Amino acid sequence: MLRDAIRVLVANWDGSYTVPSRRLYPHQWSWDSAFIAIGHARWAPRRARSELLSLFGAQWRDGRVPHIVFNPKVPDGAYFPGPDFWQTRAPSGTATSGIIQPPVHALAAWKTHLAEPDPAFLRRIYPRLVAQQEFLRTARRSPEGLISIVHPWESGMDNSPAWDLPLQGVQERPTGFVRRDIDTVNAEERPTDRDYERYVALAKAYRDSGYRRPGAFHIEDPLFNTAYGVAEQALAKIAEVCGLDPEPHEREAAAISAAMVEHLYDGDLFQSRDVNTGHLIHSASAAGLTPLMLTALPGEIADTLIATALDRFALKDGVLPSFSPSAPEFDSVRYWRGPSWINLCWLVWQGLKDRRPDLAGPLADGMLTMVARSGFREYFDPFTLRGHGCWDFSWSAALLLDVVA
Ligand code: 2M8
């Protein structure tokens, strides 16, 4: 299985970074590259460093790391929405999107360094990682101290049922675009056409504001905020290696953790908050379990989250669904509405390793079992373990290498 994981990563390598999958996602994606670097670190640390440096090569002047960096050699129209739609470039000249994804990159940089210590790499990437966080503080932080996203694609969990309610406010029905995703993958396993209309409408509105003004979708998401906090935890360690003061990062990590507990915790699970209405969006998304990664999370809240994971997400069985099967919106095959994803399992696994090794073990076994049963698929039916979405999906391979290391 390990040899197959490396084979997937080699096949998807593009010279300095890795595509998530050759046909469905033929460019560089932001949080994919972070997860992929974590896997590369286990067998080819040089590739892990290259993966991250190549992504940050497309960082914008304002510090944002775009969610897609387009490969100019890939024909226009191979992926929608492509460069023609986003109409923007990084200072390096490369065409990119204008939205972002969860900032899991500092963690990836730290894990890359742990696999093969390289202070020069850390010194090079540290200011870029800090600028990425700085963008979030400047452009996306609310008075409550939480970081917001402006598009479902920014959450990484595109069609999560948690977004059903806020998306109802998007009435426009843009026409004249052609989806490319359903050329490769069954339409029942992807977001609906109505979802896509809303994605396009939101992205257009944000683009037309010069990638500045949040619109109808303006959300504080627990996974994104967790990633932000985990980045500060990692930056504290990186700063120390670079001979810098870790304290501001430690303070920031504690502050985001406290803000999340105050504003996003519903007593069972962390929820998203709609900035436009000020209300929590009550859903049963596994994103709400990821705050287990925050070291400053109070012990009793971690215990409650674990109880929720056992009760509503069948954590003991080791195959964590992306949405609770006991909720009416659950769908075992449709993308982020229920299937089990290796990256989400991995994030929760990270949060459990120290707190509850007895539960982290089965979760690691669950990831191995899914892949052993169905290969390096994009996502898995949490009951039958059948694979869905594309084949030879990079982060499924990469994170597997980390799990078994
Ligand atoms: C999916 O998102 C893209 C848009 O960014 C898409 O559906 O085309 C999501 O699963 C996202 O989390 C992931 O980063 C991306 C590439 O794997 O695909």
| CA angle (223 as vertex; 217, 228 as ends), nearest 5 | 100
Domains present along the chain, CATH in parentheses: 2-404 (1.50.10.10)
- Answer whether residue 347 shows pLDDT above 90: yes
Encoded tokens for 189: 């396993």
Considering only CA atoms, which residue is closest to atom 5 of ligand 1? 153
DSSP states along 99-157: ------HHHHHHHHHHHS--HHHHHHHHHHHHHHHHHHHHHHB-TTS-B-BSSHHHHS-
Atom of ligand 1 nearest to the CA of 97: 5
pLDDT at 76 (0 to 100): 84
Kindly tell me the burial class for residue 117, based on how many C-beta atoms sit within 10 Å of its own C-beta (0-12, 13-18, 19 or more): exposed
The average pLDDT across 207-217 equals: 97
Helix (H) or strand (E) holding 249: helix 247-264
Pocket lining: 86 vs ligand 1, CB cutoff 6 Å: no
Pocket-testing residue among 158, 177, 322, ligand 1, by greatest number of atoms within 8 A of Cβ: 158
Cβ pair 105, 34 in contact under 8 A: yes
Atom of ligand 1 nearest to the CA of 395: 17
Asked if this assembly's ipTM is beyond 0.95, the reply is yes
Q: How far apart are CA 284 and CA 337, in angstroms?
A: 10
For residue 220, indicate whether it is catalytic.
no
Q: How far apart are CA 51 and CA 310, in angstroms?
A: 35
Pocket lining: 393 vs ligand 1, CB cutoff 6 Å: no
Band of pLDDT at residue 99, cut at 50, 70 and 90: very high
Pocket lining: 181 vs ligand 1, CB cutoff 6 Å: yes
From 86-90, 142-146, 259-263, 316-320, the region with the lowest mean pLDDT? 316-320
Q: How far apart are CA 289 and CA 301, in angstroms?
A: 11
Of 158, 181, 197, 220, the catalytic one is 158
Q: How far apart are CA 324 and CA 283, in angstroms?
A: 9
Pocket-testing residue among 153, 178, 334, 380, ligand 1, by greatest number of atoms within 8 A of Cβ: 153
Pocket lining: 20 vs ligand 1, CB cutoff 6 Å: yes
Atom of ligand 1 nearest to the CA of 156: 12
Band of pLDDT at residue 215, cut at 50, 70 and 90: very high
Q: How far apart are CA 193 and CA 181, in angstroms?
A: 11
Encoded tokens for 37: 């670097």
Residue linked to tokens 């989806």: 179
- Cα radius of gyration rounded to whole Å, the chain: 19
Encoded tokens for 305: 């989250």
**Proportion of the chain in helix, strand, coil states, percent, rounded to 5:** 50, 5, 40
pLDDT per position as a tens digit, 107-148 = 999 999 999 999 999 999 999 999 999 999 999 999 999 999
pLDDT per position as a tens digit, 17-46 = 999 999 999 999 999 999 999 999 999 999
pLDDT at 213 (0 to 100): 97
Instruction: Give the CA-trace dihedral at 61, 66, 70, 71, to 10 degrees.
Output: 70
Encoded tokens for 194: 């109505």
pLDDT at 358 (0 to 100): 97
Cβ pair 221, 279 in contact under 8 A: no
pLDDT per position as a tens digit, 165-181 = 999 999 999 999 999 99
- Answer whether residue 1 shows pLDDT above 90: no
DSSP states along 163-231: GHHHHHT------S----HHHHS-GGGS--HHHHHHHHHHHHHHHHTTS----S--EE-HHHHHHHHHH
The average pLDDT across 354-382 equals: 97
For residue 158, indicate whether it is catalytic.
yes
DSSP symbol at 279: -
